[in-house]
Structure 1
Amino acid sequence: MDEHNLIKRCQQGDKEAFQLLISQYHPFVYKFLIRTTDNEQTAEDLTQETFLKVIRNIEKFDTMGQAKFSTYVITIAKNAYIDYLRKEKKFRYNIPFPENFNVEDSSVHVEDTIVDKLYGQGILTDLEDLPEEQRIVIKLKYIEGLTLKEIGDQLELEPKTVKSRIHNGIVRLRKLLDKGDER
């Protein structure tokens, strides 16, 4: 059955169609959330929450519009994750930079250094103090290794917006790191 008809059936309250739709999209949403949360239980909980919201709001999806259903579902999942972060306030990296790390060193590109430290020594700090939209794009870029376009597609943003959020997040992270050096 094609997706358009499946969604139409869901909008008419067909429970079998909902089961088909959920079974079709569950792996997609779960993989997105496991990459985003890095926690299986949280990803599963947020996946369930995502599909509850999909079921409750399926009538709002415009089957004749240009948005893909996959984009609609990922947007709901992303918003569920942001809500989770706001409620729980427990998304945290508590890994200090080494004392010899100098963000002012012109030969060191901060973004590359963060990636190197994250993968080489598991070092990244103060990320939890960034605004959520910056934290999410930085995590998707540097932890998940997604391109600006891939991040933009997932979050329904233009690549330029993603790049700007990453840049602003890195600038803010640099300031946070500078404050940490003063302690």
Structure 2
Amino acid sequence: MDIPESDNFKTIFYKYYPEVRRKLAVLVRDENAADDLAQEVFLRLYRNPPDDPAVLGAWLHRVLTRIGYDYLNKQARERRLLDKQEFFYDTDASPPSGEEIVLSKMEQEDVRNWLEGLPERDRQALLLKYSGYSYAEIAGEIGVNPPVVGTLLSRATAKLRQHAVNSLPQE
């Protein structure tokens, strides 16, 4: 697919930019960063377009997801670095105790285990919903009709709650 023709690229840009930017804004939760990241997506499209024009939408989604997650990972690394710096320079702050760290990891592990106990489609629907996807987008990703998504999410949430309740220690 030879996109770099100016008019062809402009048409594609104006058609897909709002959706790409919106998905990035939901993913990174920062409007200004979403603008910059959307530009990066289209810069990559301009430099290295997909071979098949029929897969352009999927290609854009994959690239925007990668760029968004790379941005989030970079932000997390910077935050951790700042936290470390603040910790070393802030004499009043005390580091989390070993017990607090272990409890936090156990909670994260519990949620992962509960999610792993769900069927793949339910797990994927919940993860997409809490990543900011709309019902229509979730339907497209998991291959169901949009009206079914609400019911699917409701049932998946109920199953997740049931897994959580069943895993609680009995008194």
TM-score, normalised on structure 1?
A: 0.45
TM-score, normalised on structure 2?
A: 0.48
